[in-house]
Amino acid sequence: MIIVFVRRGSSLAGAVGLHYLSDLKFRVHVEPDEDGVFVAECPTLPGCISQGQTRAEALDNIKDAIAGYLFSLEKHGEAVPLPVNEEVVEVPI
C-alpha cells in the first residue's frame, strides 16, 4: 500500500482547482501485472487506474489520474471522498 499526497498549491491541485482543500491523501495499490507493467489503482476512487513501465512511473501516472478524477468530481458537483486518516501501528509478536 502506498499513500499518494495531493498538496494544496501543487501543480496537480492547481490544475484541478482544488486550492481551497487541505492536502489530500489517497491509498494506492501498485502491483506488477503478468507482462511486467506496474498497475496502480486508487480504491477510494472507483475506476481510477493507471500504469507505468516502472513503479515510479506508475505512481506519477496515478497522481495525474487522481487529479483528473478530482477535477471531474468538482466539475460535476460531486463530493470529493474523505481523505485517508490512518496510522501505522507496531505490534510485537
2-75, CATH topology level: Double Stranded RNA Binding Domain (3.30.160)
Which pTM does this prediction carry? 0.70
What mean pLDDT is predicted for residues 68-84? Answer: 87
Question: In whole angstroms, how far apart are CA 83 and each of 4, 6, 41, 72, 91?
Answer: 10, 10, 16, 17, 25
Q: Is residue 35 within 8 Å of 93, Cβ to Cβ? A: no
Per residue in 7-51, pLDDT (tens digit) is: 555 545 444 455 445 578 888 999 999 999 999 999 889 999 999
- The closest of 46, 8, 47, 54 to 30, measured between CA atoms, is 54
Identify the weakest region by mean pLDDT among 4-18, 44-58, 70-84: 4-18
**β partners of residue 90:** none
Residues 6+ apart with CB under 8 A from 64: 12, 50
pLDDT at 80: 84
Task: Please determine, for residue 82, whether its predicted confidence score (pLDDT) is greater than 80.
Answer: no
What are the structural domain ranges in the chain? 2-75
